[in-house]
Amino acid sequence: MDKQIAKPSIREENERAILASAEAVFAEQGFGGATIAAIAARAGVPKPNVYYYFPTKERLYRAVVERVLNEWLEALLRSTPATIPPMR
């Protein structure tokens, strides 16, 4: 029996696109140079959609940083214990 993989909701797809675009724009332009308009254009969504999911540029930046740090943490936790130095 084939299991169907759940298709991401529009909300999940939009958030993912916005976060990926924001990560790239923040990396290229810095926080001060990045604009919500540039992030929206890169994500292919209207600017009001960005504000719907992330009410401020600061909240969007925080979500991007949190996402990146979580990815790093997950990679670290997948490492074998022998590769992780003991913490003191």
The per-residue pLDDT for range 51-87, each reduced to its tens digit, is 999 999 999 999 999 999 999 888 888 776 666 666 6
Cα–Cα distances in angstroms (integers) from residue 35 to residues 5, 14, 24, 44, 47, in the given order: 35, 17, 12, 14, 10
Query: What pLDDT does residue 83 have?
Result: 63
Q: How far apart are CA 77 and CA 73, in angstroms?
A: 6
Is the predicted pLDDT of residue 88 greater than 80, yes or no? no
Residue 24 has pLDDT above 70, yes or no: yes
CA distance 71 to 51: 24
- Helix H segments across 1-88? 10-33, 36-43, 47-53, 57-78
Place of tokens 């009410």: 55
Provide, rounded to the nearest whole percent, the portion of the chain with pLDDT above 70.
86
Query: Model's pTM, two decimal places?
Result: 0.79
